[in-house]
Structure 1
Amino acid sequence: MYDIGKIYQAVSVEDAINHLVEDPKAIIIAGGSDVLINIRNGKLAGCSLVSIYGLEELNGISMEEDGGIKIGAITSFSHIAENPIIKKYISVLGEAVDEIGGPQLRNIGTIGGNISNGVTSADSASTLFALNAKLEIKGPQGERVIPISEYYLGPGKVDLKTGEVLTAIYITKENYENYKGHYIKYAMRNAMDIATLGCSVVCKLNEGKDIVSDVRLAFGVAAPIPMRCEKAENAIKGMKISEEMFNIFGETAITEVNPRSSWRASKDFRLQLVKELSKRALKEAIIKCGGVVNG
């Protein structure tokens, strides 16, 4: 049973904003894969919902005139994973969302909902951090665009003010051109499980394919919110590919994270995962860039 007070189907983003202003306690629903579970579990019992599901202006993936990639907030994980633009330019994001749940969930779950829950385990979040994604938010005061790093305010909290709707995610050309990435999800089971740790690496090599000219490392479940490891990134930029470089990368990463112990894994185990997965993900990203990794 779902204890829902009332539900309104918005006919446009503006319409959704108006209803959210009229009913500040109303909750946005799109695919509903998380909201409905919370309602069923009693956490949101009796709530009012404003549905943005089916709004075409929030759906789909497109290449902008400036070369940036726009992903509508209610685009499903399945559509992202199979989209030719994603496959060609930012396949790491397709890999990440393809790790989420099972086929049924990926068919209804949306990328906007995934990051707007504010949970650190969201599989798309760490990769969007590594891609320096920007978020388009519309509300009663107009439109604003912010880096994804500013969206997360704390566990379960994101920067959506009263009446605001996350409408799109942007990856600029400078943040994907000549970059390749790899995402690793470590979970207790190999399917339909929440990440014990999520690790995403995006990198770019020099022309000789033997030096890391740029790298970005992001984690989920390594801190209360998704995060980047900028010290680890800076520690190896400009270094020649070597086992020493990988060790520096992993050792530096564990000095930046702050995982907690839970029933899924201890803090020490997660620290070990941070060290190992950062190296493994970087090796795979380098190989995708055309570099050679020994061992």
Structure 2
Amino acid sequence: MYDLKALYEAESVEHAVALLMEHPEAQIIAGGSDVLVQMREGKRAGKELVSIYGIDAMRGVSFEENGAIRIGSLTSFSHITKDPIIQKYINVLGEAVDMVGGPQIRNIGTIGGNTCNGVTSADSASTLHAWDAIVEITGPEGVRRIPIHDFYIKAGKVDLRPGELQTAIIIPKEAYEGYFGHYIKYAMRNAMDIATTGCSVNVKLSEDKKIILDARIAYGVAGPVPMRAPSAEAKIRGKETSRAAIKEFAQAVLEDINPRDSWRAAKDFREHIATVLAERALCESIRLAGGEVHE
């Protein structure tokens, strides 16, 4: 069933790094929801695999000393959705990963695997971009942390060097404190379907809830990698929570995104959906932040 050359089981992060250095052609397997399917299709035939699934230190959600939220890369989608820290501070991430596949996939699939496969349609990826997430990578030269925007190099390729593995995703305190967000996934089916377009928006309102102090918007399937829309973010910053300002914000995303034609959807359709989702997601984020949209 699976054309596999060898499977090595890592007992710790350090052991995983050592195995990857000892077997430079080996590929990492975590939950296996992507890797095993690709092996059955023959895309990874005859490969060596390093399993990191047994490294419990890479699981769970916690706070770092500076208040940042740390999400271990082996944390499953189901655990993220149910985690009290996620629910209290960045609930939109739990909502986003709850849209991945079916229950079986969400129980076994990990947030690290979802981001490391490099695909633009990953439901967690656009949401993490909107949270200014930092990716922690551990390798033979130690630990490095890079913005998630820099982690994605091109479609299907991320910044993992020889011997390295992603060990955590960090949400800085300044990126989540005072922000409220909403994620919308547009797909042809309501369940178990890849996003045609995904849109995640976070907003921070003034004390009187009438001014948008800051907004962050990110997309999946609006380009070769998950991406932000900085033109729209700049346009809405400092504006009132008015319908007119929100519509300007939504139209401004077209200055940044670059969706493609595919069998799933045409470019112009994706652009239309992107503006509609931007408007809806921002309106809902304002509501969640305690504000109201007025004419």
Secondary structure of 1:18's partner?
helix
Give me the identity figure in percent: 59
Instruction: Give the alignment of 1:107-146 within 5 angstroms.
Output: 107-146=107-146
Mapped partners of 1:107, 1:153: distance in 2: 28
The question of 1:104 aligning with 2:104 is answered: yes
Mapped partners of 1:151, 1:202: distance in 2: 21
Mapped partners of 2:281, 2:136: distance in 1: 29
Match for residue 199 of structure 1? 199
Secondary structure of 2:37's partner?
helix
**What is the CA-CA distance between 1:5 and the residue it aligns to?**
1.0
Mapped partners of 2:157, 2:131: distance in 1: 21
- How many residues were matched structurally? 295
**Runs of 4+ with >6 A deviation:** none
Mapped partners of 2:189, 2:38: distance in 1: 23
Instruction: Give the alignment of 1:174-193 within 5 angstroms.
Output: 174-193=174-193
Instruction: Return the letter of the residue paired with 2:138.
Output: K
Contact 2:90 2:180 in 1 (8 A): yes
Instruction: Return the letter of the residue paired with 2:63.
Output: M
Mapped partners of 1:214, 1:173: distance in 2: 15
The question of 1:250 aligning with 2:257 is answered: no
Match for residue 213 of structure 1? 213
Alpha-carbon displacement from aligned partner over 1:169-207 (angstroms, at most 9, x marks no partner): 110111101100000000010000000000000010001
The question of 1:31 aligning with 2:26 is answered: no
Instruction: Return the letter of the residue paired with 1:186.
Output: Y
Match for residue 81 of structure 2? 81
Mapped partners of 2:6, 2:24: distance in 1: 14
Unpaired segments ≥5 residues, structure 1: none
Unpaired segments ≥5 residues, structure 2: none
**What is the CA-CA distance between 1:141 and the residue it aligns to?**
1.0
RMSD across aligned positions (CA): 0.8
Match for residue 52 of structure 2? 52
Instruction: Give the alignment of 1:260-279 within 5 angstroms.
Output: 260-279=260-279
Mapped partners of 2:138, 2:73: distance in 1: 12
Mapped partners of 1:137, 1:40: distance in 2: 29
Match for residue 238 of structure 2? 238
Secondary structure of 1:112's partner?
helix
Alpha-carbon displacement from aligned partner over 1:210-261 (angstroms, at most 9, x marks no partner): 1100000000000000000011000010000111111111111012110001
**What is the CA-CA distance between 1:122 and the residue it aligns to?**
0.5
**What is the CA-CA distance between 1:294 and the residue it aligns to?**
4.1
**What is the CA-CA distance between 1:54 and the residue it aligns to?**
2.0
Secondary structure of 2:255's partner?
coil
Instruction: Return the letter of the residue paired with 1:19.
Output: L
TM-score by length of 2: 0.99
Mapped partners of 1:11, 1:224: distance in 2: 35
TM-score by length of 1: 0.99
Match for residue 165 of structure 1? 165
Mapped partners of 2:13, 2:127: distance in 1: 26
Mapped partners of 1:205, 1:294: distance in 2: 14
Secondary structure of 1:107's partner?
helix
Mapped partners of 1:163, 1:254: distance in 2: 39
Mapped partners of 2:271, 2:250: distance in 1: 10
Mapped partners of 1:144, 1:63: distance in 2: 18
